[in-house]
């Protein structure tokens, strides 16, 4: 069972930063029925900030999810650019104890999954 999928909804929006650089705004929104104390988080991923780690409250992750089933370093959100210039956000489980799921499908450890807008 992967609690992270139940606790958070990811929303991606493309936004322009200074110098016409493209970036992606990732919004992590607590889902209905998520843990008490869950807060909305937003992070901008770009070439200069290519990744962010999500984890439990006891870890050193940049975004901390207050739930006992979330590992200290649970998953990684990363900014990727394709050879054609398309910018994407990928989600990768970092070997968490309880796993990470997208749309009910558990991600294999170490495999990157591209997230879509919405």
> What is the CATH classification number for the domain harbouring 60?
2.60.200.20
pTM of the model: 0.71
C-alpha–C-alpha distance, residues 85 and 52, integer Å: 21
Q: Which spans in the chain are helix H? A: 3-7
Q: How many domains does the chain have?
A: 1
Tens-binned pLDDT, residue by residue, of the chain (118 aa): 444 544 455 555 655 444 445 777 777 766 665 555 566 777 878 778 888 898 888 878 888 887 778 889 998 989 888 788 777 888 999 999 888 888 778 889 888 888 876 5
Identify the burial level of 91 via C-beta atoms within 10 angstroms of its C-beta, where 0-12 means exposed, 13-18 middle and 19 or more buried: buried
Residues 6+ apart with CB under 8 A from 64: 54, 55, 56, 57
Both tokens of residue 90? 């990928």
Domain residue limits at 16: 3-115
Residue 26 has which token pair?
A: 């990732």
């Amino acid at each position: 069972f992967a609690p992270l999928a139940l606790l958070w909804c990811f929303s991606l929006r493309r936004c322009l930063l200074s110098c016409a650089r493209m970036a992606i705004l990732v919004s992590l929104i607590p889902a209905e029925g998520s843990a008490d104390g869950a807060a909305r988080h937003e992070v901008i991923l770009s070439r200069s900030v290519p990744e962010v780690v999500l984890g439990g409250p006891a870890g050193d992750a940049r975004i901390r999810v207050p739930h006992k089933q979330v590992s200290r370093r649970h998953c990684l959100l990363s900014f990727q650019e394709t050879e054609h210039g398309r910018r994407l956000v990928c989600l990768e489980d970092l070997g968490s104890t309880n796993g990470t799921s997208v749309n009910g499908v558990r991600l294999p450890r170490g495999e990157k999954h591209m997230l879509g807008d919405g």
